Amino acid sequence: MVAIARRCDGHADRHRLLVQALGALYVARLRRHGSTLDEVQVLQVLGMDIELNAQGLECWLDRDRR
């Protein structure tokens, strides 16, 4: 997640990029664990978690800059 956050930092659409990258990460991890949910289902189930994690990473990035 740190690598994702740092890769997205500095972009005007940082939040959108974080949400997108975290969603892709979670879908990939679920696939490795044998989940049969499709991408849309995963994003629906984990949407709130992805949003909160993206916000937390943004706070961390901003705080790290101070």
Angle, alpha carbons 27-32-36 (nearest 5°)? 65
Axis-axis angle for helices 39-65, 14-32 (nearest 10): 130
Q: From residue 64, how far is each of 18, 21, 22, 58, 59 by CA, in Å? A: 17, 20, 20, 10, 8
Residue 16 has pLDDT above 90, yes or no: yes
Residue 64 has pLDDT above 90, yes or no: no
How many domains does the chain divide into? 1
Cβ atoms of 4 and 25 closer than 8 Å = yes
pLDDT of residue 8: 97
Structural domain including 11 reads 2-65
Mean pLDDT of 12-37: 96
